[in-house]
Each structure stands twice: as structure tokens, then as C-alpha cells.
Amino acid sequence: MKKNLELKGSNNVANVDKVALRQGLSHHSKYFVKFPEIIPGQDNTLLEIISSFSSITKSQKTIEEIYKCFNQYIKKLGYNFIGIAIPDKESGVLTVRTYNEGKKINILKFSLEDNSNYLVQTYVDKSRKFSSHKDLIDIDCPCLNEYLTIPLVFHGECYGIVIAGSMDRDRNRNECLNTLCSYLSLIASNYSLKNNLNSFCDFDNLTGLYTHRKFQETLSQVLIEAENNNKKVSVAIFDINNMAGINREFGHSFGDEVISDFAKMLKSNLRECDIAGRYGGDEIAVIMPDTENEKALLITKNIISKTSKQVIPQIGSIKANVGIATYPTTANNQEKLLVLAEQSMLISENNTHKNGKSFVLSSSDVNFWNKVALDSLSKVINKRNLHHTFNFEDELVKQLQDKTPSSKITLEVVTSLAAAIDAKDTYTRGHSQSVSVYAETLAKAVNLDEHMVERVKLAAILHDIGKIGISETILRKPGPLTDHEWEVMKQHPIIGVKKILEPIKSLNDLIPIVRHHHERMDGCGYPDRLKGDEIPIGARIVAIADAFHALISNRPYRKALNTEKTLEILRSGAGTQWDKELVDKFIAIIPSFYLTRR
């Protein structure tokens, strides 16, 4: 039988070799017998029964579902009383479910250490038996004198016991059942192997917690249940302080021990319902089902308080930064929930560095427009490569629309937007702020009114906001862009206008400046090929400021140019690329800038 059965199919359920079935073989060698093609009193052949059972098992997801189906097929063989006994080695219990005429009549539990128990004896010695101990399994069937117990054994391992009784003993029927049990043994073995492999893959070797993959899968299930039952779910992400320093000073092996010790302390202080998983290198995430934000904060602070009292030799107590986000209060989907929890964790890390203590922060308490908060959000999105799935532009617009900006708040918000670009494109860090300073100074030099100077200043900060929608592979490419990449890059003024500025009425007057800061005086610019005075004066000012700072800055494809060379390029492009009068005025005011350190 062993070599006639093989595992096939998407569900890894055994398919039975029909030749083997026709031969009537069983892997129980002492019961190798031939069975009749037709089962007495039945319309089905055993081959048809097993083939049908094989087909049914492929649609079942768990072994419990297969056992339930198996009961129905035993009934087809003519048995009146049926039972399935399943051992649990961890708890040391044998659970028996019995069925009379297909209806469940009892659930019994026996200790696997009770050697006087008839079913336990069957499990231990793995041999088929007839028994008349009806009281043991509460058989309420007066005409039934005995029942048959068949252990489900494969490669020396017993996965359960089939119990079957009929009004009369029929050798052929019993041997047919034995063959069917052989097939079930193989299925049980296969499921056990599959579950063991899955279980092995589900746990992180270092911490013993769920792997990142298993954590994500579990969180998905918990959120579905929460949605169906109108419950809240909180997620906390713990980041151990100074792991880089610990690894550097004591070595990575010692660092691994610290992570392992912290995971054990964390796990010992969780509630029974909480679920912990390895989230990153030194990050551990915890799912808190049916837990609102305030309760999650209390639980997390209590955990940090307890873990900080436990001392590890050489480094003392372990400090951790913690970020919390709650579904659906702060986020209504899994990805955003984790992004906000990790963002809060990074912000708490900033506070930890200030005072050296553990810090817990909820995303509900985060000021979205704080520079640290926006930088942290951008870092999370970049690190997790979420730009296609977590729409940063939409989130910015949503947060902007939630505000009623005064002029002061508008400057704060606009500055934060520029910080978002800087966090994404590290090669242009500080670029928007510098362009704003240059543009504001030039606008004043050409005697624009105070209101217009302010709008030019804000537009200059936002001139590259559309780069939020451009891939980092293009933004950070170390060499020249391909034609296709360049066409993508040229979309950033339109992206900035359409996705960020148009939905915000208070910023609508900045649209002409942002949209047209890459137009040229000769009409060869983009996106609308405007020329001369068709280009708004604010856009012409920002274009010069933008070009100047770009030329004096290091870029992935070239080193920064000196001031003399930069001014030479501006002069050569005056009248064709840039407004000549504005270039002349800009060059004249250059001495007012401190160019020695940019």
C-alpha cells in the first residue's frame, strides 16, 4: 500500500491508487486481505466509496472536517454506531466523539496516562480490537454487543482511533472498514505533517513569537472579526532602544540574546488574548483584540513598567519605544493601522533619545503636521515600500482638508509638506526651504507687493510637492534618466497641482506658480509649453531660485557646482530658459546670501 499511495493535489490530500484498492491492500500488514468488489447489503463498491471520499476530502480545509465526512462514509458500510477518538499529546487527553445512527450523542475525554482504559490501550499498542465495554463510551444501543476499534496508524504514529459497531459481526465489512481507515491514516499523517511544517514556519526562531508573515495573517483575521462584531483592535509596536550600540559594543550574538530576553519578558506580561509577533530586526508587534485606545495605552505602559524593572547583565534594564494605533479609530484598514503604529513608534524614539526613558505614544495623540511626525511617516512609507498601496498624497489632502488654516498654520503646514518631500528624496534635503528663501528675496527685490511675496514664498516651498507621487527609483537614480523616466518626472508639477493644491481652496492661488515653474521663456518647457510673459511672474522667480539651488547642490548623478560656474550657467540661459531681467536682478543680490555653507 505504501508505494501505491502518493500525495497529490493542491490540498495535499492523498489520492488513492485504484489498482491498490482493487487488490484490497491495507498498510496494516497483519490484515492484508482481499475484499469483495461488492459490499454485502450495499449498492456501492468500496472503490466507489473511497474514490468518493477522496474527492470530498480535497474540499475540506481541516482534518476535523474530514473526520466529520468520514463518519458519513462509515455509515454507508452499514455500521450503526460510530466514534472518532483524537489524541492531544500536549494536553495528554484522548477526546472521543460518538455518533448513533449518524447523530452525535456524546463527547468524552480520557487521560492518555490511564493505561486501564480500553481506548488508551488501543492508542498505545496500535492494534485493532473488538470490545464489549459499552459503558466506557456510553453506547445506548441494546442490540449492539460489541464494537471494533481501529487505530489510525501511519509510519508507527497513531493519529486517532475509529470506533464502529453493528448488530452483527461481518468480517468482509470490517476488513473494508480497515482499508478505509488505512486511507484515513495517510490523510491524517499528511495533515499532521503539513500542520507541523506550518507551525514550524509560523514561529520566529530567535523570539519564539509569530513570524512577521504569521503576524500579518493573524491581524487580518482579527480585524475581520472586529469589523463583523463592531469591536476595536489596537496594535502596539515595541522597538528596543540602542540595539545598534549594543550590537556594536557587545556583538550581534549578545544583541540577539537581548531581543530574545525582551520577547520573553514581553510575552509573560501580555493578556491571554493578546498576540505577539516579530515585526522587524529589533521590533516586536502586539495585537490587542477588543481593546480601545486608552486601554491599550494603559496595558502597554504597564508592560514597559514591568520589563524595565528586569535587569540584563552589562546593559541594565531594557528600554523600549512604543507606538500604538487603534482600529477603526485612527485607521480603518490593516496597512494604515500598522503605518500609524510604526510612525508613532518612531516619534516616541525621538522622545526617548531626549530623556533616555521608555516612551509610549498613541497615533491619536500625534500632531500630523509636526515636522518629526511627517518625517517619521515618510520614513515608514519609504522603508515598507508602500507608495503604491498607501496613498500618501490622499492622506496629505485629507489632513489638509481637516484644517481651517490661518496664515500661520498655512506656513507650518506648507513647511511640513516640504519636509515630506525631503524625507522621500534625501538628495534634495532642504531644497524646498532654500528655494523659498531665494525666491522670497528675489520677489522683494523686484518690488512685488507684500501679499504676492508671501504667496511666492509658499509656492516655492511647495514647488516640488508633486514628487511625492514619483517613485524613489527615479528620484534617486544615480545616472541620467531614460526618456520614459524623464516623462514620468515631468509629471510632478501636474501631480502637485491635481492631488495636493486643487482640493485645498486656501492654496488654489499657488497653482499657477507650482504648475509653471518648469516652463521656459522660449516655450520649450513643461507641462504647457508657455513662453515669455505667458508664464506667471511668480513661476519665473521660482524657476530661477530652483535652478540656482539645484546647481550648487550635490545630486546622485553629479557633484555640486561652485557659485561662479552656476552664475555662468544662469547668464547663458537668460532670455531663453529664464527671464533675463530676473536673472540679472538675482545675480545682483547674490552677495546678500551666505553661500559658503549650503
- Residue 567 CA to residue 574 CA, distance in Å, equals 10
CB–CB of 168/54 below 8 Å?
Answer: no
**Alpha helices in 205-314, H assignment, sequence order:** 212-228, 243-250, 252-268, 293-307
Is residue 41 packed enough to be buried (19+ CB in 10 Å), middle (13-18) or exposed (0-12)? exposed
Q: Which residue in the list 467, 490, 531, 559 is annotated as catalytic?
A: 467
3-state secondary structure of 532: helix
Whether 267 is a known active-site residue: answer: no
- From the list 149, 160, 161, 117, the residue with the least C-alpha distance to 135 is 117
3-state secondary structure of 154: strand
- Residue 579 CA to residue 538 CA, distance in Å, equals 11
Residues in the chain: 598
Phi, then psi, of 60 in degrees rounded to 5? -95, 135
Pairing mode, strands 147-154 and 157-165: antiparallel
CB–CB of 209/284 below 8 Å?
Answer: yes
Q: What is the DSSP string of 242-253?
A: THHHHHHHH-HH
Q: What is the DSSP string of 25-79?
A: --SSGGG-----SB-TT-SSBHHHHHHHHHHHHTT-SSHHHHHHHHHHHHHHTT-
Catalytic positions are 467
